[in-house]
Amino acid sequence: MPGIGQAGDETISNARYLEFKDIVPQWFEKLGNLLHENDSEIVEDILRKLYPEINSYHNCVLGEAYGFESSYFHSESNRCQKCSNLSGNFSYYIRVYDKTKIAETIDNFTKHWNEKHRYSLMMKDS
């Protein structure tokens, strides 16, 4: 991984792959409830509650990943286009309620986060 060897911190370079539940535990629970629910009335209720949250820069999946700070969105230099696209995907697939696409977006977000952002946030937390 670029830059890890330069940091000289083997703990970070050998850190485990983060799961979705590690990155965004609250959204892991919310989306898990949605994906595992089969009662259509309960699903509708969950969707009504999640849609405004998923569209809030502060409360969305990306907002939680960045510690509920919306500064990631307002700063052009810090904004990751791939994260922004994935955040939009969450919003769209919740609106149209496509379980398969929500699950795919979770996988894509988790993979991207581990490849591009895990290291920088670990450095910030240490």
* DSSP assignments along 85-120, one per residue: HHHHHHHHHHHTT-HHHHHHHHHHHHHHHHHHTHHH
**pLDDT at residue 3, as a whole number:** 33
The model's pLDDT over 55-76, given as tens digits with 9 standing for 90+, comes to 988 889 988 888 876 666 556 6
Q: How far apart are CA 12 and CA 14, in angstroms?
A: 5
Q: Using one digit for the tens of pLDDT, what is the confidence trace for 105-122? A: 999 999 999 998 877 655
Report the pLDDT value the prediction gives residue 70, as an integer from 0 to 100.
Answer: 60
- 0.95 surpassed by pTM: no
